[in-house]
Amino acid sequence: MKIIPRLHITAGISLALGMFIYTATAAAAASAPSSCKGIFSAKARQLEAGNMQAGWQLASPDGNLTIREQAGELVLQNSDGKTAKLGVMAQPDLTEVLWSADSRHLAINTSDGGAVGTWEAKLFAVDAQGHSAAIDLSDVTQKISKKNLRCKPQEVANFAALAWVKQDLLLLAEVPPHSSCANMGQITGFRVALTSKKLMEVFSEKSLRANRQELLGCRFSKQ
């Protein structure tokens, strides 16, 4: 009779259990009640299933623009009532919106694969009339993803905006919570200059939790 080492069985069970707990936690965070301050970012406003029928909307800090749900999509509405599509689906519990303090930038964290991901940050520069232009930071995010992920086969990190800091944006990268990733669930913060689209600073998970825990949404709440 072939004897299977007990250590291997225990390790396999532990890995599977860890994966299950992480996935369940991520799903619970994404569908948390209104007391939850954002999914990835505590500064963001989450689209919740419970308030979609009432017509979800979020005004800019200056009150001149409003992002709202219309026919299953997110649109930007100006003070004259004119709307423009942003090309982002309004997915309850899988979408959150973050305005900059000057109302000139907008971030939408959204997932196309459920609570676990894949998550991405849709970024826009907007003017007072409600015209928007997408901001592409793919050169930076691809470098971060390639450097931080230890996955076989290679995967793509989850990305989300955390906070607007004057003319910079603080973002978060999360290693997918998959067993194929040796560092599954690990998070990294990084700051990007919007004018140059250059990577300015990188923060480890330890640094994020020690110095910027207040920016992290319910997905990363301390247990």
* Tally of structural domains, the chain: 1
Q: Are 190 and 127 in contact (CB under 8 A)?
A: no
pLDDT value at residue 51: 64
What's the pLDDT score for residue 5?
A: 45
Q: What is the mean pLDDT of residues 182-196?
A: 95
Give the chain's radius of gyration (CA, Å).
Answer: 19
Q: Answer yes or no: is pLDDT of 9 > 60.
A: no
pLDDT tens digits, one per residue of 23-72: 444 544 444 444 557 999 999 999 987 666 667 899 999 999 999 999 99
pLDDT tens digit sequence for 142-186: 999 988 899 998 888 999 999 999 889 999 999 998 889 999 999
Q: Provide long-range contacts, Cβ within 8 A and 24+ apart, for 26-29.
A: 26/115, 26/116, 26/177, 26/219, 27/114, 27/115, 27/116, 29/115, 29/217, 29/218, 29/219, 29/221
Whether the Cβ atoms of residue 76 and residue 58 lie closer than 8 Å to each other: no
* DSSP E strands, the chain: 45-46, 57-59, 66-70, 73-77, 83-89, 95-99, 105-111, 119-126, 132-135, 158-165, 168-174, 187-193, 198-203
In a domain, 1, yes or no: no
- Residue 221: pLDDT band (50, 70, 90) is confident
In a domain, 42, yes or no: yes
84, pLDDT greater than 80: yes
Domain membership of residue 188 as a residue range: 6-220
Q: Report the chain's mean pLDDT, rounded to a whole number.
A: 85
Closest CA to 125 of 143, 102, 141: 102
213: its two tokens:
């825990």
pLDDT reported for residue 33: 44
